[in-house]
């Protein structure tokens, strides 16, 4: 009987020793904490791309090792910070946690309702719209039915506002650049007449093309008068074109023509720098500017002008 009691006692002591040994081999703690502050406060704290649900100032738990803390707040650029967490210790993150306020990019157009593409990606938004973006350069493309795509580059600064208002160009508006020479003493390869509908220059003495010429670069035999004028003022041609000089120089200003009226003239001086609207014999409007000029106006060096213009392919349509 004594032997049985001794056996039971030894067995109980063994269990106790084993239990104590198990406690001694508990795993070592392998997590730490990170305390995060920010300016401004209430920024969401993300750990390795996953939201922790905690806002600044706040403390999160993280496994020992390297991590990326990301601070997010509406109206501010995301801020990524690398941290190294030690087991059982707290990492204090207060320096370098000031968030940069986003910039505002306001995109508008005439007409409104154009789809906005930002750096090649369709935003799904239309004009007018305000985007919160970081300090950078951006490529914007606007698309609208029956209007040509318009692409431009703009710059936005943190905390600043950039506003872009774009005049969209209808697809029925075509752009031309042409060079014409003075009508007196020039050669076949120096045509003085211009067909506005195609941008093709023709010689005013060319019988096969006289009925195509809308305007020509006139010079008298003395070389003292230089005009861009309606072709019907030449005895060989009949097409009548009217001119209305405006007060601006930028063909891209989005201003439309007025309706042709009795105060429109048949010519303009070749030194004119402002753009002008033209109304031709086919009832089409053109928005034109003399962009360059040269030549001495002599037989060896005839004068010339270069024009850039937009031609509206729709009859009696004043839109540009």
* Whole-angstrom distance, CA of residue 95 vs CA of residue 81: 10
Q: What is the pLDDT of residue 77?
A: 87
- What lies within 8 Å, CB to CB, of 125 at 6+ separation is 115, 116, 131
- Domains of the chain, first to last: 31-93 (2.60.40.1120), 103-167 (2.60.40.1120), 173-312 (no CATH)
Average pLDDT of 12-38?
63
Rounded to 10 degrees, the C-alpha dihedral 262/305/201/224 comes to 70
Average pLDDT of 119-147?
96
- Please tell me whether residue 233 adopts helix, strand or coil conformation: helix
Task: Give me the chain's average pLDDT, please.
Answer: 91
Average pLDDT of 6-24?
44
Question: Using 50, 70 and 90 to split pLDDT, how confident is the model at 28?
Answer: low
**Between residues 119 and 7, which one has the greater pLDDT?**
119
Q: What is the pLDDT of residue 5?
A: 42
Q: Cα–Cα–Cα angle for 70, 74, 77, nearest 5°? A: 50
The residue among 177, 183, 187, 176 whose CA lies nearest residue 216 is 183
Q: Of 125-129, 131-135, 256-260, 285-289, which gets the smallest average pLDDT? A: 131-135
Q: What's the pLDDT tens digit per position in 300-316?
A: 999 999 999 999 999 99
Q: What is the pLDDT of residue 43?
A: 96
Residue 27 pLDDT > 70:
no
Residue 78 pLDDT > 60:
yes
- Please tell me whether residue 2 adopts helix, strand or coil conformation: helix
Residue 265 pLDDT > 90:
yes
Q: What is the pLDDT of residue 272?
A: 97
Q: What is the pLDDT of residue 254?
A: 87
Q: What is the pLDDT of residue 299?
A: 85
Q: What's the pLDDT tens digit per position in 193-246?
A: 999 999 999 999 999 999 999 999 999 988 789 999 999 999 899 999 999 999
Instruction: Say if residues 214 and 280 touch (Cβ distance below 8 Å).
Output: yes
Q: What is the 8-class DSSP label of residue 210?
A: G
Q: What is the pLDDT of residue 15?
A: 42
* Whole-angstrom distance, CA of residue 184 vs CA of residue 267: 17
Residue 7 pLDDT > 60:
no
């Amino acid at each position: 009987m004594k032997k049985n009691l001794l056996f039971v006692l030894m067995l109980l002591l063994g269990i106790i020793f084993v239990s104590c040994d198990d406690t001694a081999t508990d795993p070592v703690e392998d997590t730490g904490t990170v305390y995060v502050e920010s300016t401004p406060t209430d920024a969401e704290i993300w750990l390795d791309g996953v939201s922790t649900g905690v806002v600044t100032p706040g403390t999160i738990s993280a496994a020992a090792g390297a991590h990326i803390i990301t601070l997010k707040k509406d109206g501010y650029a995301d801020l990524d910070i690398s941290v190294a967490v030690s087991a059982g210790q707290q990492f204090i993150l207060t320096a370098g946690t000031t968030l940069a306020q986003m910039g505002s990019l306001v995109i508008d157009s005439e007409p409104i309702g154009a789809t906005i593409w930002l750096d090649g990606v369709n935003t799904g938004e239309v004009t007018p719209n305000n985007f919160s973006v970081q300090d950078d350069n951006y490529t914007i493309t606007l698309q609208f039915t029956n209007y040509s795509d318009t692409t431009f580059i703009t710059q936005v600064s943190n905390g600043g506002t950039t506003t872009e208002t774009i005049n969209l160009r209808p697809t029925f508006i075509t752009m031309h650049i042409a060079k014409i020479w003075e009508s007196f003493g020039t050669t076949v390869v120096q045509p003085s007449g211009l067909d506005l509908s195609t941008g093709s220059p023709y010689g005013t003495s060319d019988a096969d093309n006289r009925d195509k010429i809308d305007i020509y670069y006139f010079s008298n035999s003395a070389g003292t008068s230089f005009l861009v004028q309606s072709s019907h003022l030449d005895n060989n041609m009949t097409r009548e074109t009217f001119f209305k000089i405006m007060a601006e120089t930028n063909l891209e200003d989005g201003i439309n023509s007025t309706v042709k009226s009795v105060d429109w003239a048949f010519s303009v001086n070749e030194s004119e720098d402002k753009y002008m609207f033209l109304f031709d014999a086919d009832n089409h409007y053109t928005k034109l500017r003399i962009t360059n000029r040269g030549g001495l106006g002599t037989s060896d060096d005839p004068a010339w002008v270069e024009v850039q213009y937009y031609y509206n392919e729709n009859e009696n349509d004043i839109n540009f």
